[in-house]
Amino acid sequence: MRLLVVEDDPDLNRQLATALIDAGYVVDRASDGEEGHYLGETEPYDAIILDIGLPKMDGLSVLESWRRAGRVMPVLMLTARDRWSDKVQAFDAGADDYVAKPFHLEEVLARIRALLRRSVGHAKSEFLCGPVRLDSRTGRVTVDGAPVKLTSHEYRLLSYLMHHSGRVVSRTELVEHLYDQDFDRDSNTIEVFVGRIRKKLGVDVIQTVRGLGYLLAAPTEGRS
């Protein structure tokens, strides 16, 4: 999952990015409204953390512009203000959730997990596909109850497919949502990671749809 943090306080920006990266997300960062607005308009983020009080362009204006342009990614607003009227303004501008400063990083992580689940129509932190279970809260993957050890890159790829199970996910979409802007998009890294995940899971849940991408679906009777 690829996230954007738009926060002008350098320490808080860094703390948020570090916590999100440690939780297994790919994170881009912006320190003012104009830069954040541009990235949110041009890059395919799964969710965005957006401060209201930003230089150059305030967060509410950034969010309103994204929504007018049809950008529907979940947005979690951050603000030092805690008046109910500010919360109303944020939600009316198109925010999906709201956190007042100061806050605990664990709360932000929990809210981001919830936004990502809801964005794909899933209510629980656990994702199931046949015998494969992924807990987005703990980062734990099991097959028939047995733990499976994945690298951070492998976990991110499997997690994205689990969040979007039942539909074909193209290689381009995986690259855009799992890696930052500097990733070599002509490499065969996705194919390599898919092969490794299949081997570690030991069950046939990731199907290759020739010319289109990958489909995560529970194995059916008779499939090898």
For the chain, the domains span 2-119, 126-216
Which pLDDT score is estimated for 158?
94
Q: What pLDDT does 223 receive?
A: 43
Overall pTM surpassing 0.95 (yes/no): no
Give CATH superfamily name and number for 2-119: Response regulator (3.40.50.2300)
Neighbours of 181 (CB within 10 A): 11
**What pLDDT does residue 117 have?**
86
Nearest C-alpha neighbor of 61 from the set 49, 72, 52: 52
Q: What is the DSSP letter of 132?
A: E
Closest C-alpha to 9, from 78, 98, 89: 78
Q: Where are the beta strands (DSSP E) in 105-200?
A: 126-129, 132-135, 140-143, 146-147, 168-169
pLDDT for res 183 = 62
Q: Which CATH architecture has domain 126-216?
A: Orthogonal Bundle (1.10)
pLDDT at 153: 87
Query: Cα–chain-centroid distance for residue 204?
Result: 25
The pLDDT value recorded for residue 84 is 77
CA-to-CA distance for 40 and 66, rounded, in angstroms? Answer: 7
Residues of the chain with pLDDT under 70: 123, 180-187, 220-224
